Amino acid sequence: MPKIREFEKGHQYFRSVKFKQNEERFKKLVQEGQSPRALFIGCSDSRVMPNMITGSGPGDLFIVRNIGNFVPPFSPDDDYHATASAIEYAVTDLEVSDIIVCGHSDCGAIKACFEPHTPNEENIHTVKWLQLGEPARDTARRSLPGESLELQRDFAEKVSVVFQLENLLSYPAVRRRVDEGRLYLHGWHYNLATGEILYFDEAELEFKPLGAS
């Protein structure tokens, strides 16, 4: 198990260096509880590191990660809803002031939405989950007919972020706080190759470099 041993060494480094550097902050978070600034909904992709790309520290972000950084529409039933539960908890209990939905380049989930899939006992949940990316895929195909698959997928990655923001507004707790001006939604797209983050400008309906304005 060589890879696990690498993690063990990494943990020892964390304990001896990183934890020591932030020890007082960790103790304060234990004593006072967490009060994160924002809910960050990102992709499970191992190349996306929310704290690193935002420069945030312990206690700053309440993070939800799933395949494709998708937000399922609000569904008032008694089934298991991990992402929905985290959204509700962040908004109603932690009272975050901001929610960030962050997509990224070279997204495997968006790529998969452009490919045919037959559900079986080993992938049934994944195939169902990918349906959340189909509106973005269909929009990309309609908006860029005849363009390369690469361009369509890149467009779909960004459009998908906008669809997830719309889905967030289907949650009563989110909608009420947005309408009251107590909660703000942000759509981001992170480029793995350049490290740049683009944000969705609702007024101009386009993605722009974060922090450029």
Catalytic residue among 11, 15, 25, 47: 47
- Active-site pick, 43, 102, 177, 189: 43
| 45 in active site | yes
Active-site hit among 104, 137, 153, 189: 104
65 is catalytic: no
The proportion of the chain whose per-residue pLDDT surpasses 70, expressed as a percent, equals 99
Is 93 marked active-site?
no
Evaluate if residue 1 carries a pLDDT over 60.
no
**Secondary structure of residue 139 in the 3-state scheme:** helix
- Nearest CA to 189 among 42, 75, 83, 78? 42
47 is catalytic: yes
> Considering the entire predicted model, what is its pTM?
0.95
Place of tokens 């972000």: 61
* Domains observed in the chain: 1-33 (no CATH), 36-209 (3.40.1050.10)
Q: With 0-12 CB in 10 A as exposed, 13-18 as middle and 19+ as buried, what is 92?
A: middle
**pLDDT single digits (tens) 61-116:** 999 999 999 999 999 998 999 999 999 999 999 999 999 999 999 999 999 999 99
Mean confidence (pLDDT) of the chain: 96
SS3 percent helix, strand, coil of the chain, rounded to 5, is: 50, 15, 35
